Structure 1
């Protein structure tokens, strides 16, 4: 018993004589904290230097801990008091601090008045990281500063967009804020701002919601369609027009896409597909459907004609030698195709693709269109007999008469343009109705015989004398004028 009492007294005396100040730190106090340990560690100079990442472990008497003890200490929680598994006399509490823990404590300590922005330079200077990390932190710091200076209301953002100042749309996160931004852009009537906000909405909200909200705003729809047309986004443009039930615009868009195909065969197929998908089933587009049908049919006619004529020209056809083809007939307009067929295939039967009359019939050309075109082709070929056949119509009881649906003045204009002989031109000048009109056209084309005949018919002696004085000597017109002036059977106007 006496020995036990002695040991107890010795232990009490040992702890009473310890250099540990129990007022500041008590190992057996349940309220011990990291802050107490830190304060004690600082007083003993046990913390590592700020620049060193290694962990230093010391005893309470400032002596280093052996590797074995350090290993056992590291198995505990860093930053807390640890004990060796020996008896109470050999208890050696240690404190461990790493570099990152010390920095974290300094940044989060309530007593520290420095902000995150203030700590960034010090972190950069003490960090062993690369230059890229340093530049990234500096960039983020500048971006943070600029972001704090910006105002994020829809009104201020639209104002900055109009004035060309820096702005950001990414700060608007909710659907309501984005729609408010779009409504504000529409309200100020700025097309660039409207388009920019629409594209932002397209990227950040679901397509179904985007389409729904866009349909509720006709102004936004028009700007969006204009943007798609300008940037040739025809697929999206067609989808939007179909969604809006603007079938006519969608059909015309598809037609334009079809005719832009570089290959003729591909263009024919595209036109047929476009006709079937967008025109035939729309009653309001019946007229347009007929035009698309004629366009496709014209290409289907031009393709074999071009193929046949190119081979005939290569084989040395005399007509192609005399009048060489300047361009291909493919993709040419209807009237040009008719003129081509009238010029090179004017006598072909109606059952042939090259027949001008078959073209007139299939494409529903008027008589004026057909006569004008055929007359121009035959006049250039100097086919005067063909012109007469074209202008001859059957009358009653098998009789024939000269008829021109375009007017004989137009016939004379075409003949004069193709340098027709004077007797051919005079023949059709005499068929012009109206003496004054005939006289003016005959003077224009210098058909002296017709001018003299018309002046005699009008019994205008004075005008005939003036006109005869201008005629060249020995000309047929001058002789006719002199004979008329000497005639005693003509009753002139007084």
Structure 2
């Protein structure tokens, strides 16, 4: 039998040693020197007979790998080679934090002392990993008095904020309220309750109205309450009362501006005093004139009701001239009118309100309101600029003819 046949035989394979595995049992390690194979002589290094000192000794590491030597020594000591060198009780805070960050299995309950728990919390904060911080905080909540944990968190805002976010996301409003109240942040706790009710009640206007009315009576209508918070919740209660009156599912739990847009689209002609009138909604919810103008503009522009838009934003003065009257800043108004493809005549009326000649010319060119460009260049008496601008216009178009007629106007004293 040649060498290849020998090593490929099933008997040899079954008896061959394998060092591929990292862990061997103590019995396997101790048996290494006790097995006898065909062809092995009595002067093997594992034999019990005295080694012939006349022969040269070979270093042990040339015969057995260092890993096997370590395992042999570990087996001699009586310990399990498959276990970690460091016992669970010897695990340090740093080792536990490392396992948490690497998402490895570990037990935080090994750290029983208050000192080690504080070290673990501060170490997690220093690392800056949110999951690790939250895991440690939840462990502290589980193993310590809540009051003590809250005191620890009060001086560690990073950990406190992570825990607050956790309670809020999980909908644990009672625990969150207890925490903030104990920390002297009762008004903030009330606002978290308000947000939770709005989020969880959905379209249940009746249920939400009852909860917010209770919140107002028991927490907000008390001495020392924040006036701005009280007003905000009170306004929302008034909106819910209006939605309950309207009795339309598409309005339930919607914002005041959304409700105003609905009324503008469906109840525009209702007189003031009618609950569904846009002006009534504005008065009840104290919607500002700027917000009102913006909603009306977008609602009626979307349905191409330019007569309403024009009547809202343009007025006649004592001399019969049309002027613009809007709470929206003029450049913002022009940009929006351009976006909704408003009539050029309306754009020209708005451009007339721009007091600066330079700004009016810039905006007219930007939005391609040719009539205003021609008129402004004529007022500047800039014949050359008007001639060049005329070359950019479509020949024989209305604005092209306007430019030509303006250039021929002999009453204008051109400066060039």
TM-score of the pair, normalised by structure 2: 0.65
What do residues 195-231 of structure 1 show as CA deviations (whole Å, max 9, x unaligned)? Answer: 65654554456xxx44246425533756654554464
Cα contact 2:351–2:364 (8 A) shared by 1 = yes
1-structure distance, mates of 2:86, 2:408: 108
Cα distance, 1:392–1:211 mapped onto 2, change above 3 Å: same
Cα distance, 1:160–1:282 mapped onto 2, change above 3 Å: farther
Cα contact 2:370–2:399 (8 A) shared by 1 = yes
2-structure distance, mates of 1:442, 1:426: 8
Which residues of structure 2 form unaligned runs of 5+?
Answer: 1-78
2-structure distance, mates of 1:298, 1:392: 31
Task: Give the alignment of 1:72-471 within 5 angstroms.
Answer: 150=87, 152=89, 156-164=91-99, 178-189=113-124, 199-200=138-139, 202-203=141-142, 209-212=145-148, 214-215=150-151, 218-219=155-156, 224-225=163-164, 227-229=166-168, 231-260=170-199, 261-265=201-205, 266-281=207-222, 283=224, 285-305=226-246, 307=248, 328-391=250-313, 402-471=324-393
What do residues 311-330 of structure 1 show as CA deviations (whole Å, max 9, x unaligned)? Answer: xxxxxxxxxxxxxxxxx333
Secondary structure at the aligned position of 2:384 is classed as: helix
Report how many residues are paired: 324
Shift in Å, 1:236: 1.7
Cα distance, 1:491–1:169 mapped onto 2, change above 3 Å: closer
Cα contact 2:393–2:400 (8 A) shared by 1 = yes
Cα distance, 1:471–1:147 mapped onto 2, change above 3 Å: closer
Shift in Å, 1:288: 2.0
Cα contact 1:449–1:476 (8 A) shared by 2 = no
Cα contact 1:157–1:168 (8 A) shared by 2 = no
1-structure distance, mates of 2:324, 2:331: 13
Cα contact 1:452–1:481 (8 A) shared by 2 = yes
Shift in Å, 1:459: 0.8
2-structure distance, mates of 1:247, 1:231: 20
Cα distance, 1:185–1:194 mapped onto 2, change above 3 Å: farther
1-structure distance, mates of 2:300, 2:110: 75
Cα distance, 1:268–1:162 mapped onto 2, change above 3 Å: same
What is the aligned partner in structure 1 of residue 14 from structure 2?
Answer: none
Cα contact 2:257–2:295 (8 A) shared by 1 = yes
Shift in Å, 1:388: 4.1
Shift in Å, 1:387: 3.4
2-structure distance, mates of 1:352, 1:447: 41
2-structure distance, mates of 1:462, 1:304: 65
Shift in Å, 1:259: 0.9
Shift in Å, 1:450: 2.0
What is the aligned partner in structure 1 of residue 413 from structure 2?
Answer: 491
2-structure distance, mates of 1:195, 1:417: 48
What is the aligned partner in structure 1 of residue 56 from structure 2?
Answer: none
What is the aligned partner in structure 2 of residue 77 from structure 1?
Answer: none
Shift in Å, 1:410: 3.9
Relative contact order, higher structure (CA 8 A, sep 6+): 2
Shift in Å, 1:368: 1.7
What do residues 389-433 of structure 1 show as CA deviations (whole Å, max 9, x unaligned)? Answer: 423569799999643332444444343333333333333333332
Cα contact 1:347–1:355 (8 A) shared by 2 = yes
2-structure distance, mates of 1:201, 1:410: 54
Secondary structure at the aligned position of 2:251 is classed as: coil
Q: Which has the larger radius of gyration?
A: 1
1-structure distance, mates of 2:169, 2:135: 14
Cα distance, 1:339–1:157 mapped onto 2, change above 3 Å: same
Shift in Å, 1:170: 5.7
Cα distance, 1:158–1:459 mapped onto 2, change above 3 Å: same
Cα contact 1:160–1:166 (8 A) shared by 2 = no
Cα distance, 1:476–1:306 mapped onto 2, change above 3 Å: farther
What do residues 375-396 of structure 1 show as CA deviations (whole Å, max 9, x unaligned)? Answer: 3333344444433442356979
2-structure distance, mates of 1:147, 1:382: 77
What do residues 98-123 of structure 1 show as CA deviations (whole Å, max 9, x unaligned)? Answer: xxxxxxxxxxxxxxxxxxxxxxxxxx
